[in-house]
Structure 1
Amino acid sequence: MVNIKTLLFLLAIVLGYISVLWLQQKPNKTFSPPEPAIACSVISLEETITPVLGTKHFVVAAYADNRDGRRTRIIGIINRNSGDKLYCVFCCGNRTFFTTTAEVQQHSDHFGFPYVTTDLLCEMAPVCKSSYVMVRGPSPSVGNGARFLPIQNQHQQEDEFPYEFTVCISSLFGNYNNVLQFIQTLEVYKILGIQKVMIYKTNCSQTLDKVLSYYKEEGVVEVIPWPITTVLNPSHGWNYAEHKGDLHYYGQLTTLNDCIYRNMYSSKYVLLNDIDEIIAPYKHRDLHELMKDLSSQNPKAGVFLIENHIYPKNVFDETGRFSQQAKWKNVPGINILEHVHREPDRKEVYNPTKMIVNPRSVEQTSVHSVLKHYGESYRVPPDVSKIVHVRVPLQGQLSKEALIRDTKLWEYADEVIKKTNEVIKRVIESES
């Protein structure tokens, strides 16, 4: 017969073994993922130009881009003469950092300037669920001055868009004060179906600032601060040999690219043009009807090039039909309804274009064409749509008789006059 003491001893061993197995399976709550030495300080979306510490570079914004793999695309302004190796540092959901080497893609259009718009592409690790990223230079540490960009476009929806048409205005600078033309242009665009106008603002006059506030309250305009003159010496023109400076034309190329990514999943189409330009349909009632036809006829196209046409601001309509608006006399700027003569095409000179794009088709853009895109591009015939561009003449030697009379804008005149007068009354006259 087995001894009782022996049985108790064997039972104690079995119970001990079972206890060890149970403790090994029980979650250990005394350990947690290591925390970084600093908290992830996040940059506001209103803060658009951030220095990369320890370098001569700047970053603007970060966007999730899953069109070609799971990547984060950071739009930046890079010094072309620097050979710095750059890194993306992701602030992960478990309060750890994940660092990866950035693929630096300088845009091909830099016009000879020392600084160039650049995409920094970084692979996202599956283990790191991050909403924030920073860029660092060769320094191995993430110092106390580290600030992280929010990663936008993470929750993408491609079948419904809050807006059908958004206009991207690359920059307001030089204390811009062309108030009357600005108001008239926005009112024409509203008639044509534009729901949002995004403006990158360096500076403008006090009067125009009040007009911007009016349209912001109306929900039409969104102003993005663009303090490029506080960090670089941007040029006043496009040619480095002639205009000098650090960066092409107030960073125009950078803001256009940023605007595309900001609106990638909020707008079906984005118009890339200047504040004194109107992309006008000539065979359709509005932009909706224009793009409905163009997209059905060109289903593979995501980029639509629209020719620029000059309407000299020093040539006036001889009838004086729209020159007697009393409220407009004391408003600075051009009355676009008075300028209905356009310069003829010069077959030997390239006529530049601006664009209507499906932003989800664009990877990189320049001013007059896209640099990288998915799908095809289509040059729209000028009898279908053209840019009405009221500005200083390019063919100043031509007589008025040599110009082409084009009263397209008069189709919108009644509504434009009514709305322009309302804005002047509410914004300008109420302040006087």
Structure 2
Amino acid sequence: MKKIKYLKKITPLLFVITPIIIIMGWTTTIIGELIRRQHKPSVFCPWLISEQSITPLKNTKHLLVSAYTDQRLGGFDLRIIGVFKRDFVDPLYCSFCCAGFVSETTPSIILPHSDHFGFPYGTMDVLCRIPDNCDATYVTLLTAPSTVNISEQLWIPIRNKKAPKKAENELNFTVCISTLFGDYNNVLQFAQTLEMYRLLGVNRVVIYNTSCGPELNRLLKFYSQEGFVEMVPWPIDKYLNPSRGWNFAEHGGDLHYFGQITTLNECIYRSMERSRYVLLNDIDEIIMPYKHDNLNSLMDSLQPHPNVAEFLIENHIFPKKYFEPSGRFHLPQWSNVPGINILEHIYREDPNSSYHPYKMIVQPRLVEQSSVHQLLRNLGEQFYVPKEICRIIHVRVALLKSLQLEELNEDKRLWDFQEKLIPNVDKVLRRAGLLTED
């Protein structure tokens, strides 16, 4: 009975003391964990996440663009694509945000792209090793192997995190358009090109936009809302003085052609786990099959070459100063739409013997680094597609200016698609509010 009375007396006290003991235990554990973390590099992260397509790297002259897992390189399993000052490349260290905590730093390997055309800035890849047992979600680069002041760094997200399964929604063809700049407003040719690509079987077009004209901006918004075009903001002119040309000696500036090489490489990695093939060409070029009605059939015919990383397509200029004489495609509804009507230009240059410009269809999983006209580093082979099978239709200023009309070749390949192309162009222009006549 005495024991029961004693328990009755201390029971209320236990209800008070027990939570205090538990809280003290939790507090001790938390304080211990915080003390432990002061002596190790594990701290909460990330603090500042970059939402931009271009991220300045603190205490350097470098710009980070994007980070992608890359399981192909044996030990180095992350690739960061960036724009670096070529004469100012010191060692860099990778730091990862692993499920909310900062990892220990790991040294990096910096791989410059060999094509920079003499400009002070060029595209570079930084290869990092993700630490063991790290579920990495964000990464940043440091100039010293220390996480002191790491809370001041900007972190960029890691893309393509998981090795892909054969996705049911994998795209067959993605077109990468490197850079729009200088208030480009060639609306009619742009609409015709995109609708031609849609007829050929392209699933998505990725465009890096620095600036464009007001009418083209309206059209781009429509295509983006529809999902056919993926727009990537590219404000490179906020950080550098980008060149409007490809040759530093002639054009000057900090970076080749508004960062064309950087954006092409970024687009390849962006598409690597979601597209079988990537077409790398300019906005006024169409990679056109001549023996097949679509790109799927073209590539099926080339499957005896399964290990080809790059299929090179010869570029043929259609000078815009020469018009088809009948005027059958000089359509009145397009008269107020700015830009070139590619259906009116049917006369083709043949490249001269000394210069054969090419663009590419690539298998992105076999690509490491690309330039504009060829791959720089790849895991496969190279194949020149015969021009009788496929060539580029490129309506622009004549390249061989001395040629007269009678020296050009008549080529009406685009007319094979006119019955579907014209109403499709009308429809997209009307929906974008750029076509008022029926």
Query: Do the structures match in fold with TM over 0.5?
Result: yes
1:181-233 Cα offsets, whole Å, 9 max, x none, are 00000000000000100000000011111100111122100000000000000
Equivalent residue for 1:405?
410
> Structure 2 length normalisation: TM-score?
0.88
Note if 1:300 corresponds to 2:303: no
Equivalent residue for 1:310?
317
Contact 1:42 1:132 survives alignment (8 Å): no
Note if 1:364 corresponds to 2:369: yes
Relative to structure 1, is the Cα distance of residues 373 and 254 closer, same or farther in structure 2, using a 3 angstrom cutoff? same
Contact 1:84 1:138 survives alignment (8 Å): no
Relative to structure 1, is the Cα distance of residues 430 and 413 closer, same or farther in structure 2, using a 3 angstrom cutoff? closer
Choose from 333, 348, 352 the match for 1:342.
Answer: 348
Deviates more, 1:209-218 or 1:151-160: 151-160
What are the residue-to-residue correspondences of 1:2-401 with 2, within 5 Å? 31-32=32-33, 34=37, 39-41=45-47, 43-44=49-50, 47-70=52-75, 71-93=77-99, 95-138=101-144, 140=146, 141-157=148-164, 159-160=166-167, 162-294=170-302, 296-323=303-330, 325-347=331-353, 349-401=354-406
Contact 1:211 1:427 survives alignment (8 Å): yes
Distance apart, 1:90 and its partner CA: 0.8
1:216-262 Cα offsets, whole Å, 9 max, x none, are 12210000000000000011111010011110000000000000000
Contact 2:196 2:421 survives alignment (8 Å): yes
Equivalent residue for 2:431?
426
Contact 2:46 2:100 survives alignment (8 Å): no
Q: What is the distance in 2 between the residues matched to 1:173 and 1:137? A: 33
Count of residue pairs the alignment pairs up: 402
Q: What is the distance in 2 between the residues matched to 1:187 and 1:120? A: 37
Q: What is the distance in 1 between the residues matched to 2:177 and 2:89? A: 32
1:81-137 Cα offsets, whole Å, 9 max, x none, are 114221111112251332111111000001111111000001111132211100122
Contact 1:342 1:405 survives alignment (8 Å): yes
Distance apart, 1:422 and its partner CA: 1.4
1:314-350 Cα offsets, whole Å, 9 max, x none, are 1100121101x11110110000000010012312x22
Q: What is the distance in 2 between the residues matched to 1:429 and 1:293? A: 39
> Structure 1 length normalisation: TM-score?
0.89
Paired residue type of 2:152: G
Computed over aligned residues only, the root mean square deviation of the Cα atoms, in angstroms, reads: 1.9
Q: Which segments of 5 or more consecutive residues in structure 2 lack a partner in the other structure? A: 1-27
Equivalent residue for 2:8?
none
**SS of residue matched to 1:98:** coil
Distance apart, 1:415 and its partner CA: 1.3
Q: What is the distance in 2 between the residues matched to 1:430 and 1:315? A: 26
Q: What is the distance in 1 between the residues matched to 2:237 and 2:145? A: 27
**SS of residue matched to 2:432:** helix
Choose from 395, 419, 424 the match for 1:414.
Answer: 419
Contact 1:42 1:150 survives alignment (8 Å): no
Contact 2:95 2:102 survives alignment (8 Å): no
